[in-house]
Chains A and B, each alone.
Chain A
Amino acid sequence: MTDLTPITALGAAKPAEVSHGSLTLTERPDIGLASLALRKGVTCPEGLPAAGEATDRVFWIGPGQWMIEGPGQADSDFAAQVKGDFPGCSVTEQTDGFSVVEVHSHDGAAAIEALLAKLVNIDPVALAPGCAHRTALHHMTVFVIRRADDQIAIIGMRGYAGALWHAVDLAARRLES
């Protein structure tokens, strides 16, 4: 059988990682994603985040809709696992549709907020830890999650992974100079 080498959304065998000043960008191809949607008449399962919010593994994407993250589970049937956790809800595999870029600051919240101010039309201070929004970044639709004071995740369409990486990388590089 042909020996195929899996590559990430950015086209390399290993996930990209780069540092500019206090910011480190990391590609996270290991995160499995599955969306969860409530069906008509089904009561909302407990523990799911409210509008505009995120918990450790789940973030809100629209009325009655959430995205579930599974770090390290991209190569497994993550949707099937989520389906088992939320019987009666509609679960769709999303791992292959998106690409995750995480940005970590070694210098506190200020660098992250400066980067957000360059990239998205959302108040960076109001985007506190535990908030998640879908918005536009360079005309691409993205989810922005504030994981912590000094960490954000930007999840964009996989086909635009290169453009998304370029946009975030360039903004971080300009902040450095």
Chain B
Amino acid sequence: MADPMKIRAALNGDVVEVKALMAHPMETGLRKGSDGKLVPAHYIETVKVACNGREVLSADWGPAVSKNPFLALRFKGGKAGDKVSITWTDSAGESRTDEVAIG
């Protein structure tokens, strides 16, 4: 099981700014390990961000997103206390969901 994401959701006026840091190796499948063999590809393929169940962003990623990915977005229609949840699914079929209340 992957480590939890670090998520922050802050309300500025009527805009909610979400910043997230995910724990993931994001292996491209092109890198050689210390044994000289290729490390198999393993990266996040989809990310979905929702606010109280309403989707506010969906992303498709390739292996070129940096290790331990950072993502920030801004959306309208959220208020303090609403739950922002982020779900990622990777190329190995693993997934993780974390949520935070808008502060």
A and B physically associate: no
